[in-house]
Amino acid sequence: MDNLIDGRAIAAEIHGETRERVARLAARGVKPHIVFVRVGEDPASRVYVGMKERTSGELGLLSTTRVLPEDTTQAALLDLVRTLNADPGVHGILVQAPLPRQIDAPTIFAAVDPAKDVDGFHPVNVGKLLLGDEGGFVPCTPAGVHELLIRSGTRIAGANVVILGRGNIVGKPMASILMQKGRHADATVTVCHSRTAAIEEHCRRADILIAAMGVAHFVRASMVKPGAVVVDVGVNRVPDATAKSGSRLVGDVDFAAVQPLAGRITPNPGGVGPMTIAMLMRNTVRAAEQNCR
């Protein structure tokens, strides 16, 4: 079925726009610079940061990765963040989650200069998003989902949107983006979570269903209205004896069962994932542009 929303193709389109902006900055003698801060050797974090480094280089951005040991104290990490905040040659700062148990992630995110917070997690940027102030940075995954909807021609205004998951990284900011008054928004948004009663009934009313609960194959065909747009944000590892590693990654949507019903659907992988990095690169270039004004 040709109802896929191709995240890789849309991300490539955005990367092309980003390259043009990087070239305009280069003509002014400016090269956008993002610093990735990784604490410890979490395997997934190493992979994610590596992907972001490669994309930065491909788009003409400068990237630096600072790796701190697993036993780094919160005070030491805060000192590094303050140093990066004060460095005029750094335009974007990303502290890779998850962080070790001795470190309070919200405290670290709140320490990043909001003007360099290209992950969009600083309370100032969170507040701007909720208020509809476009001057802040929007978290990359929900911003990427929004672009997928826009560039796939999905009608958002007046749509019934159901978001599965109320997390600070996807669910809450996603709801804030889509409920705003304005272009590419004006949706009626319902946020469902682990305590929501009759969750299937909510899902069956959705014109746009966004799954971000972190539960493998949670969304079944019986939960989807025929013709709905389904976006799968989930990344879950499940056992798979046929895989070399003994496991594989799946989304929150039972793709094989839901695809025949959906009007449009994101694959997983190849849907939301590429968009997250594309939005991070775009945020970093924007931070450099704003720094030049």
| Residues paired with residue 62 on neighbouring β-strands, in sequence order | 33
Selecting among 116, 117, 119, 207, the annotated active-site residue is: 119
270 secondary structure, DSSP code = S
Residues 73, 52, 152, 285, CA torsion sign: positive
- Distance of alpha carbon 55 from its chain centroid, rounded? 15
The answer to whether residue 74 is catalytic is no
Task: Give the long-range contacts of residues 182-188, CB within 8 A, separation 24 or more.
Answer: 182/132, 184/146, 184/149, 184/150, 184/156, 184/157, 185/156, 185/157, 186/156, 186/157, 186/158, 187/156, 187/157, 187/158, 187/159, 187/160, 187/161, 188/158, 188/159, 188/160, 188/161
The answer to whether residue 96 is catalytic is yes
284 and 92 Cβ atoms separated by less than 8 Å = yes
The answer to whether residue 52 is catalytic is yes
CA-derived radius of gyration, the chain = 19
165 and 211 Cβ atoms separated by less than 8 Å = yes
Selecting among 6, 74, 87, 96, the annotated active-site residue is: 96
Selecting among 2, 31, 42, 52, the annotated active-site residue is: 52
CA atoms within 13 A on the CB side of 125: 24
Catalytic residues: 52, 96, 119
